[in-house]
Structure 1
Amino acid sequence: MKHQIIVAGKPSLKYAKDGVAEYKKRLTRYGSYDLKHVKDGSSIDVSKRLLDGSQNAIRVVMDERGEQLTTQQLFNKINQWEMRGEKRATYLIGASDGHTQDLRDRADLVWALSPLTLQHELALVVLLEQLYRIATMQRGEPYHR
Structure 2
Amino acid sequence: MHWRIVTVGKPALSWARQGLDDYLHRLRRVAKVEHVVIKEGPRDHVETQLLQASADSFRIVLDERGKAYRSLDLARWIEQKDLHGTKRASLIIGGADGHSAAFRAQADECWTLSSFTLQHEIALVVLAEQLYRAYSILRNEPYHRE
Shorter-chain TM-score: which interval?
over 0.9
Alignment partner, residue 80 of structure 2: 80
Alignment partner, residue 54 of structure 1: 54
Q: What are the ranges of 5 or more consecutive residues in structure 1 without an aligned counterpart?
A: none
1:119 matched to 2:119: yes
Q: CA RMSD in A?
A: 1.0
- Residue 6 of structure 1 contacts residue 37 of structure 1 at CA under 8 Å; is this kept in 2? yes
- Residue 43 of structure 1 contacts residue 94 of structure 1 at CA under 8 Å; is this kept in 2? no
Q: Match of 1:55, SS?
A: coil
Q: Match of 1:122, SS?
A: helix
- Residue 67 of structure 2 contacts residue 111 of structure 2 at CA under 8 Å; is this kept in 1? yes
**In percent, how many aligned pairs have the same letter?**
43
Alignment partner, residue 129 of structure 2: 129
Q: Match of 1:30, SS?
A: coil
What are the superposed Cα offsets for residues 26-76 of structure 1, whole Å, 9 maximum, x if unpaired? 112112011111111122111111111111211110000111111112112
What are the superposed Cα offsets for residues 87-111 of structure 1, whole Å, 9 maximum, x if unpaired? 0111000100001222210111100
Alignment partner, residue 27 of structure 2: 27
- Residue 41 of structure 1 contacts residue 95 of structure 1 at CA under 8 Å; is this kept in 2? no
- Residue 9 of structure 2 contacts residue 40 of structure 2 at CA under 8 Å; is this kept in 1? yes
- Residue 64 of structure 2 contacts residue 111 of structure 2 at CA under 8 Å; is this kept in 1? yes
Alignment partner, residue 144 of structure 1: 144
Q: Match of 1:29, SS?
A: coil
Q: Match of 2:56, SS?
A: coil
- Residue 6 of structure 2 contacts residue 93 of structure 2 at CA under 8 Å; is this kept in 1? yes
After TM superposition, the runs of 4+ consecutive aligned structure 1 residues lying more than 4 A away are none
What are the superposed Cα offsets for residues 105-145 of structure 1, whole Å, 9 maximum, x if unpaired? 01111001000000000000000000000111121111111
Q: Match of 1:90, SS?
A: strand
CA distance in 1, matches of 2:52, 2:100: 14
Letter in structure 2 aligned against 1:67: K
